Homo-oligomer: A and B are copies of this chain.
Amino acid sequence: MDDATPTLTPRTVAARVLPVPRTASPQLQRSMSLLAETPIEALQFSPQTEEQWRGMIAASDALGRARLAELLKAFPATVSTTTLGGVTVREVTPADVDPAATPLLHFHGGAYVIYGGEPSVAEAVLGASFARRRVISVDYRMPPDHPFPAAVDDAAAVWRALIETHDAARIGVFGTSAGGGLLLAMTLKLKALGLPLPGALAPSTPWSDLAGESDSYRTNAGVDGVLPQYEGVLEGAARLYAGAAGLRDPLVSPVHGDFSGFPPSLLTTGTRDILLSDTVRVYRAMRAAGVEARLEVYEAMSHAEYTAAPGSPECAGVFGDIAAWFDRHLAR
């Protein structure tokens, strides 16, 4: 036996039934119940070939487009497509925008594989509406055609172009899941390049550990209704994205990055979130590095479930807090 790796006894947890708790909002309760009725196979399908990946991407994106159309009815905004630094971006302007406010930068989620193109702005619409700010949402390149580091390169290229006309310290950056991980990776990259950093960050349930070592990949497996497990599609997406890079490369898995000098950061997760540990580990690493960071955890919420229940108090809480964070740390 190797002294460096002592034998450690695992816990065995019996099968159980998790009722929908009354401690969540009625809207979140309905979301939880609906997700519990979804056949598990639909959430765990794991593509094995490039053709299967492309099929899955097309199906997810179609769903994303339909959801976006619904979302824009409740949160009216205009969306226009352009390029910035050679990268496709979409500018989202909420109906009641504060014309004097500085813009926000947004990176969409989708495990670095899905929700590119038109559906990429769904969360940007929510962020723009609550913050009453213009949001520039980055349609970064993704696999199968463009694995790492294309997404990080695109993020840095947009940033370089943006700070030619804006004060970096007055720009806030937000994103969920892969979008949260990407904004952390971009900021690590900007630090290494010696470029000015954003004024504030809001990585929500950031995918920070693509190697799947976080404890909540195990403890919240099957508990999270949105992303029930790492094994399968999530692990496959991690490998498809990383390509030739290692899964523990800090620009792939930013939990391994050095956060010293990072801007004030607001991190959000839920108690049922399979990325609860991904979020908590980044938060603790930021605190240890002396970063001004804040952690928000929502009762009974699964991974990014606030976007699945956009009328819920949980959604208003998440984006209300993000808006207030940017108002506090960015000059308007």
A33 interfacial contact with B, CB 8 Å: yes
Q: Is A169 an interface residue (CB 8 A)?
A: no
Please report the C-alpha to C-alpha distance between residue A213 and residue B24 in the assembled complex, in whole angstroms: 11
Question: Looking at the complex, which one of B34, B35, B214, B271 makes contact with A216 (CB distance below 8 Å)?
Answer: B271
Among the stretches A128-136, A196-204, A236-244, A294-302, the one at the interface with B is A294-302
Assuming the contacts A215-B299, A271-B280, asked whether A17 and B11 have C-beta atoms less than 8 A apart, the reply is yes
Least CB distance, A330 to chain B, in whole angstroms: 21
Task: Give Cα A328–Cα B299 distance, bound, in whole angstroms.
Answer: 28
Of the listed stretches A47-55, A71-79, A159-167, A220-228, name the one at the interface; the rest are far from the partner chain. A220-228
The answer to the question of A82 belonging to the interface, with a C-beta cut-off of 8 Å to chain B, is no
A39 within 8 A of B: no
This chain: how many copies in the complex? 2
> A281 in the interface, Cβ–Cβ < 8 Å?
yes
- Among A8, A281, A294, the most chain B Cβ lie within 10 Å of the Cβ of A8
Q: Within the assembled complex, what's the spacing in Å between the Cα atoms of A272 and B282?
A: 17
Q: Which residues of B contact A29 (CB under 8 A)?
A: 8
A21-47 interface bits toward B, Cβ cutoff 8 Å, 1 = contact, 0 = none: 111100001101111110000000000
CA distance A287 to B10 in the complex (A): 36
Could you say which of B215, B220, B299 contacts A284, with CB atoms under 8 Å apart?
B299
Assess A13 versus B213: contact at CB under 8 Å? Given A8-B33, A295-B296, A299-B277.
Answer: no
* Known contacts A215-B299, A219-B272, A298-B280, A37 near B9 by CB under 8 Å: yes
A25 shortest CB reach to chain B, Å: 11
Cβ-closest chain B residue relative to A218: B18
CA of A271 to CA of B221, assembled, Å: 13
A residues 283-322 with Cβ under 8 Å of B? Answer: 283-284, 294-300, 317
Chain B neighbourhood of A19, CB < 8 A: 8, 10, 218
A30 to B7 alpha-carbon distance, docked (Å): 9
Cα-based distance from A297 to B296 in the complex (angstroms)? 10
Given contacts A19-B8, A20-B9, A280-B299, whether A223 and B219 have CB atoms under 8 Å apart is yes
Report the separation of the CA atoms of residues A213 and B23 in the bound assembly, to the nearest whole angstrom.
7
Is A14 an interface position by the 8 A CB rule?
yes
The answer to whether B219 and A13 touch across the interface, beta carbons within 8 angstroms, is: no
- Once bound together, how far apart are the Cα atoms of A33 and B9, in whole Å? 5
CA distance A194 to B18 in the complex (A): 42
In the complex formed, the residue of B with least CB distance to A272 is B219
Could you pull out 17 A-B pairs where Cβ atoms are within 8 angstroms?
A8-B33, A10-B17, A11-B222, A14-B15, A18-B218, A21-B214, A21-B215, A23-B213, A23-B214, A215-B299, A219-B220, A219-B223, A280-B298, A280-B299, A281-B299, A284-B317, A297-B297
Given A271-B276, A271-B280, 17 other A-B contacts at CB below 8 A? Answer: A9-B36, A10-B17, A10-B19, A11-B18, A11-B32, A11-B222, A13-B16, A14-B15, A16-B221, A19-B218, A21-B213, A21-B218, A22-B213, A215-B300, A280-B297, A280-B298, A294-B294
